[in-house]
Amino acid sequence: MTNTNNLQLLKWDLSHVKALLRSKNDLAALLQVSVPVGWPQFPEAFSLPADKTVETSKPPDWGGYFFIDLQNKALVGSGGFYGQPDAVGNVEIGYEIASEYWNRGFATQAVQKMVDYAFAHEQVRTITAHTLAEINASNSVLKKIGMKFVAEIDDAENGKLWRWQMSRDNYHSI
């Protein structure tokens, strides 16, 4: 995946996950960036695969990425794909920006880059994302890049969620 104007989307691998599980300082040293105190909000995204000999549990290029502010050499968030496109061509994305870096356009840039990347693959027909079932900054980002609200769902772990979707037919790069 390429950079945006302000961000590098750096694919994480097993060495990054192991460093983070040791400490944020170890990850910061490995990446040579600062790591915010309030990140990650979703540490479960950084778990070791059951088979520790496997480099990653996600297919190549459909895994996770660190969002690094190039100017300030700071990790501002993370996100990626929940796996490769399924049989009907759907891929799901997720992301988070550390609170210290909210309202700077990083989420919009990162999510747009992930969408652009996904639709560069012909097998991808739709992209989905889920947010908490409330008006929040994540909703605004998804709307801004052209995703549409499609359903409210009940999730066993998180309660009510809103499902957002964009089809290849409605895709546009901002």
The DSSP bridge pattern shows strands 126-132 and 90-97 to be parallel
Lowest pLDDT segment from 8-12, 41-45, 86-90, 140-144: 41-45
Residue 80 confidence (pLDDT): 94
SS3 content of the chain, % helix, strand, coil (to 5): 30, 30, 45
Report the percentage of the chain scoring pLDDT > 70.
91
**pLDDT tens per residue across span 77-124:** 999 999 999 999 999 999 999 999 999 999 999 999 999 999 999 999
The DSSP bridge pattern shows strands 148-155 and 74-81 to be unpaired
Q: Compute how many other C-beta atoms are within 10 angstroms of the C-beta atom of residue 13.
A: 12
* Calpha distance 59→56 (Å, rounded): 7
CA distances from 165 to 111, 127, 168 (A): 13, 6, 10
Report the percentage of the chain scoring pLDDT > 90.
80
Burial code of 129-162, b = ≥16 C-beta within 10 A, e = fewer? bbbebeeeebbebbeebbbeeeeeeeeeeeeebb
**pLDDT tens per residue across span 27-47:** 999 999 999 998 998 888 887
* Calpha distance 151→39 (Å, rounded): 29
Domains of the chain, first to last: 7-170 (3.40.630.30)
Strand, helix or coil for residue 91: strand
**Average pLDDT of the residues in 140-156:** 95
pTM of the model as a whole: 0.90
- Give the tokens for residue 38: 């309030």
